């Protein structure tokens, strides 16, 4: 039986597209990319989902009286679509502790730095400006703090002397598009065991 996945995105959705293509190639065995959840009516990811024939839920927070009502609408659709894993891919909203608790260790996020370094929305620019020699990508489970949950996978990215912010961003995105499907595969195969802050990757 396939595990239904929902991807949450607010912008271009390059990681959503990468996951969808991997699924189409049959490389996410046991996974069904069932739903895109988007909070931005102008996001390019919506047209990408339409082209890929993936069901889209547009939930505009402007039409809800508060965050709870906004999240309740999302939760209702997640239940209807029997979602077993949520994958955040540039979703520019912090999920409440209540929401995260309902999907404990079933929400993944990808972050363009080697956490816990350079948290927040401008990680690539911040890391570059700091003058570091090595940065990278982190996939982690989401908890009730920003960029904080147990780490699933990390990959290093070297920062060359000739690097620009744009060239570094391009390198990091390439790594993201490889590491995220890998993490999703591990989850689908039941190979991720969370013990406190550690995520153990089992052999089967």
Q: What is the pLDDT of residues 65-100, one digit of tens each?
A: 999 999 999 999 999 999 999 999 999 999 999 999
Single residue among 63, 84, 103 that ends a domain in this structure: 103
Q: How confident is the model at residue 26 (pLDDT cuts 50, 70, 90)?
A: confident
Same-domain status, 9 and 70: yes
Please, is 65 exposed, middle or buried when counting C-beta atoms within 10 Å of its C-beta (0-12, 13-18, 19+)?
exposed
Q: How confident is the model at residue 2 (pLDDT cuts 50, 70, 90)?
A: confident
DSSP annotation of 64 reads: S
Residues involved in catalysis: 111
Single residue among 103, 132, 154 that ends a domain in this structure: 103
Domain that holds residue 73: 1-103
Single residue among 68, 103, 138 that ends a domain in this structure: 103
Residue 170 near residue 164 (C-beta atoms within 8 A): no
pTM of the model: 0.95
Same-domain status, 28 and 117: no
How many domains does the chain contain in total? 2
Q: Is 137 helix (H, G, I), strand (E, B) or coil?
A: strand
Same-domain status, 64 and 159: no
Q: Is 195 helix (H, G, I), strand (E, B) or coil?
A: strand
Q: What is the pLDDT of residues 109-145, one digit of tens each?
A: 999 999 999 999 999 999 999 999 999 999 999 999 9
How many Å separate Cα 202 from the centre of its chain? 22
Neighbours of 190 (CB within 10 A): 11
């Amino acid at each position: 039986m396939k595990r239904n996945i929902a991807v949450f995105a607010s912008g271009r959705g390059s990681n959503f597209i990468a996951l969808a293509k991997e699924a189409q190639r049959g490389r996410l065995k046991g996974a069904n990319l069932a739903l895109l959840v988007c909070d931005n009516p102008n996001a390019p990811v919506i047209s990408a989902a339409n082209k890929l024939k993936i069901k889209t839920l547009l939930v505009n927070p402007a039409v809800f009286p508060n965050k709870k009502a906004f999240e309740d609408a999302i939760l209702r659709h997640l239940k209807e679509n029997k979602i077993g894993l949520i994958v955040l891919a540039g979703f520019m909203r912090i999920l409440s502790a209540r929401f995260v608790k309902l999907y404990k260790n079933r929400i993944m996020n990808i972050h363009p730095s080697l956490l816990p370094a350079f948290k927040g929305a401008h990680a690539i620019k911040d890391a570059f400006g700091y003058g570091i020699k090595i940065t990278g990508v982190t996939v982690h489970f989401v908890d009730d703090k920003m960029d904080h949950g147990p780490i699933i996978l990390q990959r290093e990215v070297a920062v060359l002397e000739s690097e620009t912010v744009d060239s570094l961003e391009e390198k990091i995105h390439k790594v993201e598009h490889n590491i995220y499907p890998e993490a999703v595969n591990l989850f689908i195969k039941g190979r991720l065991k969370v013990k406190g802050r550690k995520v153990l990757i089992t052999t089967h």
